[in-house]
Structure 1
Amino acid sequence: MKRTITMMMCLLPVLGFAQQPGKNWHLQSKDADKVYGTGVIKAYDELLKGKTPTTVVVAVLDGGIDTLHEDLRTNLWRNLKEKPGNVDVDGNGYKGDVVGWNFLGGPNGQVTNEASEYQRVYFQYKSMFENVQNEKDVKKKDKQHYISWVLSKSLLKKGDTVAPVYFRGEQVKDDLYNEKDRFYGNSNLIGDPYFHGTHVAGIIGAERGNNIGMDGIASAVNLMGIRAVPNGDEYDKDIALGIRYAVDNGAQIINMSFGKAVSPERKMVEDAIRYAEKKGVLIVNAAGNDGTDIDLHPHYPSPFHMKGEGRASNMITVGASGATEAGLVAGFSNYGVKTVDVFAPGVAIYSTLPDNKYSPLSGTSMATPVVAGIAALIKSYYPQLTAKQIKYIIENSVTKIDFPVTKPKSGGKKVAMTELCRTGGIVNAYDALVMADKMSKAN
């Protein structure tokens, strides 16, 4: 994976925006607007009028959120049991977590830049494994770290050094490898690179109908900010604890627009995903932007369990699509007929940026909150539906693509959409709501 913020966070610059339809194309529909959008506008006009939604809490596990943004602040989650300041009023272990939590903050500042995980792993275990001739010589307790080290060695680039490994160091003051060391960080969600999380949050739940900026997908939503993704690769421990924080504080959906090629503490994250699964929380996860098959080259967090015990039933992995038939599959998007569940609009998606600004951005980072927003929309009007049911609905209501599409980074090779994802389609909010209505009446 490229060593840049744009790739680390599943974000890419806008690709061909001048040739794309209007700024809210992802909310439009194929039949009415001739673009491969989600049908959200049509759904509000035809299916949801006169109906009253229930507010849904969506956690944005990302780089932070501009909590002062004009189009977001009314839809922020608020911990009504807590008060601002350095006091833990509600007793959950996180002082002053009124709108969320920052696992990258500490007494000596905030983490902004970090190394790639392969750099950290390679230099951390170099002295332990560099002279190993055979995997059989590695102790059982060190086997997983050895596998991660070998993979990291293969990813190492000329000029990579040990120095970036210690960026976090004195800033956060936690034990990176002790999951029981949970109560670190601070309540400040505005810390670089919070532009990414701000953009993601707007796609899900920017205030609708206020004639400012743009409309989010879900109208009845509270956005819980959890800052755990720096410029560079996120730490597995922060992600695991971020998931648990979201679940314990009432999130019903978690958006995860990030990823990496190496996950040394994968079990921590998997255990957290299982915890969310047990609690009925849906996780929506970005496929990544390397234009590669993640069935063959995994992108973490992965929906598959480490020990071959199947996959998480509460997790949707999302690839990115464009507005028109010619560029339907984004050239940067990862794919995988086993791993990627659906594709969703992720090219030139217009949304919120810090300081009351707006801009289109592209990436599976943008496609993922489109799906999380649709999940929140379904949940808000059909609150009795479970995470598993909503996952089923989203996957089984896609717009099926029955023409050949261009496979990413293949030199223009055309393939069936069913060769790139499990469902062979693009998410469709309108059809999902129709299916949700039928399912809720059948229950």
Structure 2
Amino acid sequence: MFKNKIKYLFIALALAMGPFISEAQNLTYKANWQNLDLVSDTTFGISTEKAYQELLKNKKAVNVVVAVIDGGVDISHEDLKSVIYTNPKEKLDGKDDDKNGYIDDINGWDFLGGPKGDVEFETLELVRQIRALNPKYENKSTDSLSKTNEAEYLKYLNMKNELNQKLTEAKNNLNGIYGFKTVLENMVKKMGKENPALADFEAFEPTERGEAQVKKVMLNVMKEEPDFATFKKEQIDAAFDHFKEQVDYNYNIDYNPRDIVGDDENDPRQKIYGNNDVTGPDALHGTHVAGIIGANRDNNLGIKGVANHAIIMSVRAVPNGDERDKDVANAIRYAVDNGAKVINMSFGKGYSPHKDVVDDAVKYAVSKDVLLVHAAGNDDMNLDLESSKNYPNRIYADQTGTAAPSWIEVGASGPTDDASLKASFSNYGKTSVDVFAPGERIYSTTPNSTYTEEDGTSMASPVVAGLATLIRSYFPKLTAPEVKNAIMQSVVKVNHPVELMIGKDKKTVPFSDLCISGGVVNTYNAIKLAESMAKTSAKK
């Protein structure tokens, strides 16, 4: 689960510490910046527009199905409805016309749904692991255990400590946001205006310490976010909801919504369950991802996706909480069996109890020449370290190898070619992350034909998935490993150091220490290389 984490944690810290200003907020982000060119547009996008203008005019292309395994996609969005996948072998008639086990799977499938509705919130995998071990170890001590159980028991204690820390942090954030929100709302009442301006906050006379602190913060906020109503809704209210969801659902040992699905949650290899609601109760994240990949470029609406021949298949497997391994595995298999040639996975978690099940699905995708694109995560961690885990990953648990030739791990970059290029939140790894791509303040589609900016490797991953889809559209004979090679070998190398937080210390490191390729993906370069590869292959 990566959803909205960066925005809301930043808000909590900013409100707790005072001035609501960051270096990122002071930057100017050009519209469609992720697709612009560093030289001609002076912003470190991936040169998609340049590729369309100079390399792809009048070239033939085929449609490519790209699966968005996520929380759901608004398939009726004005900028997406023309590019949504439709199952040609299925009718909306209450029958399994194509005999694949999934009734009425017209636009994809929902592994979080069932006869009783759809799962929106979930616990962390950490919580589920503790819950499973509670009957065995709760109220036990090492003295009462055999030697064979000691390691598992110590792991159990460590997980409980981790959960307690997370829950305490979430409660503190919730209380902080609640206090700020309450004082702010009372101040606005006193002003007598629903949407006060900067001048109203400047004129406001605090009557107690809390109001003075909130005024100080809001004076900074209103210089950066002049529309109070938008700021209040999208940041204060949304942050409150986010931390409340963490306390009530994500970190709640007593919460388990799986009865809604009606599957056997203890059977990781069960395949037939779910429903055909590919939008679900919260499709913000998945819709945003889908738009980055393939929003209609030619309808004069909204935004421009990277790939102009992408067909978006929504496979719902990621709740507001940690995804379950069986759902991820089934989503990958469903996407492959229904024609996806690229799969975007903008999700991740710290524990994977049934990694073997996911690995088997990944191996299946690799055997069918499918390219998997995965977000590296938003914890500013070095994934090369043994202590840093982000699942799923390309290393098979049974030690039979990796999915590396058909798997791209993506970190997030910003628009400026300087020391701040690495997005502050992005995970990295000299041997674990393949490439970087734009992931800061990416403007894309959101439910009900709206649009907004989001941050995260969740946004960087679909930039790369869109590029992979674009290559497979224009050069369909290239294999998944060849497409990956074209992307890796055509990056714009970053030859200057970048800033990195290691613990509490800010350090500068070579960008080549952050990923295997040492650069940011580039559509223009990748298309030129892919064309050369396709010509060479045709001569053989």
SS in 2 for 1:31: helix
Match of residue 316 from structure 1:
408
Residue 199 of structure 1 pairs with residue 288 of structure 2: yes
TM superposition shift of 1:310: 3.2
Distance in 2, Cα, partners of 1:104 & 1:194: 13
Supply the AA of the counterpart residue of 2:371: L
Distance in 2, Cα, partners of 1:72 & 1:282: 22
Q: Deviations over 1:326-357 (max 9, x none)?
A: 42100000111111111100001110000110
TM superposition shift of 1:407: 1.4
Residue 352 of structure 1 pairs with residue 445 of structure 2: yes
- Cα contact 2:127–2:252 (8 A) shared by 1: no
- Alignment equivalent of 2:372, drawn from 283, 293, 307: 283
Match of residue 156 from structure 1:
163
Residue 419 of structure 1 pairs with residue 419 of structure 2: no
Q: Give runs of aligned pairs for residues 1-400 of structure 1, distance below 5 A.
A: 5-7=3-5, 16=24, 19-129=27-137, 131=140, 133=142, 137-138=148-149, 149=156, 152-158=159-165, 159=167, 163-164=252-253, 166-296=255-385, 297-312=388-403, 313-326=405-418, 327-400=420-493
Distance in 2, Cα, partners of 1:355 & 1:197: 13
TM superposition shift of 1:128: 2.4
- Cα contact 2:270–2:326 (8 A) shared by 1: no
- Alignment equivalent of 1:436, drawn from 510, 520, 530: 530
Supply the AA of the counterpart residue of 2:164: K
Distance in 2, Cα, partners of 1:193 & 1:264: 26
- Alignment equivalent of 1:405, drawn from 492, 498, 507: 498
TM superposition shift of 1:97: 0.6
Q: Cα–Cα, structure 1 residues 223 and 172, in superposed 2: closer, same or farther, change >3 Å?
A: same
TM-score, normalization by structure 2:
0.76
Q: Cα–Cα, structure 1 residues 272 and 15, in superposed 2: closer, same or farther, change >3 Å?
A: farther
TM superposition shift of 1:361: 0.8
Cα RMSD of the aligned pairs, angstroms, is 2.5
TM superposition shift of 1:169: 3.0
TM superposition shift of 1:65: 0.3
- Cα contact 1:84–1:98 (8 A) shared by 2: yes
Identity over aligned residues, as a percent?
Answer: 45
Structure number with bigger Rg: 2
Q: Tell me, which stretches of 5 or more residues in structure 2 are unaligned? A: 12-21, 169-246
- Cα contact 1:332–1:408 (8 A) shared by 2: no
Supply the AA of the counterpart residue of 1:348: R
- Cα contact 1:329–1:408 (8 A) shared by 2: no
SS in 1 for 2:164: coil
Q: Cα–Cα, structure 1 residues 60 and 364, in superposed 2: closer, same or farther, change >3 Å?
A: same
Match of residue 178 from structure 2:
none
Q: Tell me, which stretches of 5 or more residues in structure 1 are unaligned? A: none
Between Structure 1 and Structure 2, how many residues are aligned?
437
Provide runs of 4+ in structure 1 moved above 6 Å.
8-15, 145-148
TM superposition shift of 1:126: 2.6
Supply the AA of the counterpart residue of 1:298: K
Distance in 2, Cα, partners of 1:105 & 1:287: 27
SS in 2 for 1:418: helix
Q: Cα–Cα, structure 1 residues 164 and 192, in superposed 2: closer, same or farther, change >3 Å?
A: farther
Distance in 2, Cα, partners of 1:15 & 1:106: 45
- Cα contact 2:269–2:326 (8 A) shared by 1: no
Supply the AA of the counterpart residue of 2:463: V
- Cα contact 1:9–1:365 (8 A) shared by 2: no
Supply the AA of the counterpart residue of 1:304: I
- Cα contact 1:27–1:39 (8 A) shared by 2: yes
Q: Deviations over 1:375-399 (max 9, x none)?
A: 0000000000000111111111111
TM superposition shift of 1:308: 3.4
Distance in 2, Cα, partners of 1:371 & 1:11: 26
SS in 1 for 2:443: strand
- Cα contact 1:348–1:361 (8 A) shared by 2: yes
Q: Cα–Cα, structure 1 residues 205 and 11, in superposed 2: closer, same or farther, change >3 Å?
A: farther
TM superposition shift of 1:129: 4.5
- Cα contact 2:6–2:455 (8 A) shared by 1: no
Q: Deviations over 1:309-339 (max 9, x none)?
A: 4321211110000000242100000111111
Supply the AA of the counterpart residue of 1:137: T
Match of residue 174 from structure 2:
none
- Cα contact 1:65–1:190 (8 A) shared by 2: yes
TM superposition shift of 1:230: 0.6
Q: Cα–Cα, structure 1 residues 153 and 222, in superposed 2: closer, same or farther, change >3 Å?
A: same
TM superposition shift of 1:16: 3.3
Q: Deviations over 1:139-168 (max 9, x none)?
A: 9xxx9x879746634522255898545422
Distance in 1, Cα, partners of 2:122 & 2:334: 22
Supply the AA of the counterpart residue of 2:527: L
